[in-house]
Amino acid sequence: MLLTRIKGPRDLDRLSQEELSQLADEIRSFLVDAVSKTGGHLGPNLGVVELTIALHRVFDSPKDKVLFDTGHQAYVHKLLTGRQDFGGLRTKGGLSGYPSRAESEHDVIENSHASTVLGWADGLAKANEVLRREDHHVAAVIGDGALTGGMAWEALNNIAAAKDRPLVIVVNDNERSYGPTIGGLANHLATLRTTDGYERFLARGKELLERTPVVGKPLFETLHGAKKGLKDFIAPQGMFEDLGLKYIGPIDGHDIEALESALQRAKRFSGPVIVHCLTQKGRGYTPALEHEADRFHAVGVIHPDTGLPVKTAAASWTSVFADEMVKLGHEREDIVGITAAMLHPVGLNKFAEAFPDRIYDVGIAEQHAATSAAGLATGGVHPVFAVYATFLNRAFDQVLMDVALHKCGVTFVLDRAGVTGDDGASHNGMWDMSILQVVPGLRLAAPRDAEQLRAQLREAVDVKDAPTVVRYSKGVVGPAVPAVGRIGGMDVLRAPAPEVTRPDVLLVSVGALAPMCLEIAALLDKQGISTTVVDPRWVKPVDEALAPLAEQHRVVVTVEDNGRTGGVGAAVSQALRDAGVDVPLRDFGIPQRFLDHALRKEILAEIGLTAPDIARQVTGLVAKLDGRYDSAPAATVD
């Protein structure tokens, strides 16, 4: 196999065009076989095989910087830079599903948030200019979906201002992000795809005019001089050229020879160039091409021949939200949905099918989504913006200054909150309950099970004068966790024995960690430590009944799937201080560091967010209060 002979990009130099085509076929077969066993981003990588080969043939990585926006399409790049062991893809100790500086000097950006690559490229190109590195080049690959993000256009505005600073921008145009790309830019790119190119027109015109005696050549030169107008008429790439960006394309993104030619021309140019490549997401794999929703953007473990899941998926948090949104849509005509290019991943596809006139896909533009939601609310409807928790970080200012300041009734639904695991540091939703704590008037719910998700979503959309947030985990929704009582707005999940006059521990359980907290309480009970477990349901603001309840206990413990700094534990601690309740508090959560990719349960074990770990530490804390300073017995599970 040719692929096994590729240890680095320069090994591509000695291959003929025929061998390069064979290599592309081998890479596609490898990807289908490998990713079907582990899960991962399959469709995007199948679409960029030839493009990635051409990039590494033309540019000399790592001296030249080859950058990938988002990075989910970098599997081919990994294969060509010496990383062909995909057996542990996205698992602990294995390859990351995104570029990773720890893996290779060929990887540059690993934040996996879309629309950032052009900002990176602008900075790297400026650094080359400052340090006079004329033999260094920067090539940035950005998808048509990522180009819908505002950051991309902010960067283009700056890139175009330096007409003599070399930079190659490769637009990987497959008409999709997760689903089909939408908006004005998508329409413009579609025009470029479907209009006969200017160069073809001009070449034909030159051929005809040169046959015309006397006036032919002068007329051709006149037309060539007026090429800007012709380009706008024949192939309207003028949008890019009006910015001052040289445009090459559209290029067949699966023709290695044509790609190399275009990239070589762009590399030789002394300023910024856009190379527009047309690719096919899921190319070469029939199940992906036939999957209309997202062309196998991301898959779990599948059968490589059929593309069907190996295991039947259980009900997920996302599916519970999806079904409840449809019910709400039937009950209330003022409910509308908003997504930032992730209709299916966040579960709004069912709502879109039922109410096509009440769904808005704004592209990869979370900031715009939040502010547009403020406008929708001001106009008299109630928008529900469903987004991954990690991506709401990008719209914080808009949540604060547009939605909250104006007391707009907008509901933000945060999917994949907490530790998500296999997608790595930038996809863990561990920041939302910290950054949203500072937003005045905002209310934040963390449902513990499917029933509570349905109930709290309904409570959220009933709020008309403030932003509300409902956050839940990735994956399968757990079993129902019934309440045994209610104190204020809090559910009591476990109460101590009636004869206990002052229980030892008040355990505040946040969201989906309720089963773990009940397990902690059971372990503490075996050590003779009485425990009350409460679920606040709405963790912001802190329930007024919590401080008086805490005063009836010896110790308060909070457990949350969020960063400890500024999270629920910190808010509870402040509430107790404000109420003059002087009870020791211990908060358990995610340490403020970037977590490597691994299974969720592996990460929770690594950071000590497990029932035995927490029970052991709480046992020690209670022992200290009792004056028993010797080592407390370890908590165990029968």
Active site residues: 281, 366, 394
The set of residues, in sequence order, having a beta carbon less than 8 Å from that of 200 and lying 6+ positions away, is none
At residue 42's C-alpha, the angle toward residues 41 and 44, to 5°, is 80
Bridge partners (DSSP) of residue 176 are 180
Cα–Cα distance measured from residue 11 to residue 5, given in angstroms and rounded to the nearest whole number: 8
Q: Could you report how far apart the first and last alpha carbons of the chain are, in Å?
A: 52
Q: In DSSP terms, which residues pair with 490 in a beta bridge?
A: 487
Residues 371, 394 contacting (CB under 8 angstroms) = no
**604, 562 in Cβ contact below 8 A?**
no
DSSP E strand stretches across 549-635: 555-563, 585-590
Among the residues of 147-248, which ranges form H helices?
A: 150-159, 184-194, 198-210, 216-225, 227-234, 238-242
C-alpha to C-alpha distance for 514 and 246, rounded to whole angstroms: 57
CA–CA distance, 102 with 96 (Å, rounded to integer):
10
CA 581 – CA 572 distance, rounded (Å)? 11
Q: C-alpha angle with apex 505: 503 to 507, nearest 5 degrees?
A: 130
396 vs 408: CA distance, rounded Å: 15
Structure tokens at 226: 């007026």
The angle subtended at Cα 455 by Cα 449 and Cα 461, nearest 5°, is 130
ω before 62 within 30° of 0 (cis)? yes
Residues 556 and 585: beta-carbon distance below 8 Å = yes
DSSP per-residue letters across 584-601? -EEEEEE-SSPPPS--HH
How far CA 85 is from CA of 35, 66, 100, in Å, comes to: 11, 21, 15
60, 62, 66, 68 alpha-carbon torsion, rounded to 10°: 150
The answer to whether the beta carbons of residues 317 and 477 sit under 8 Å apart is yes
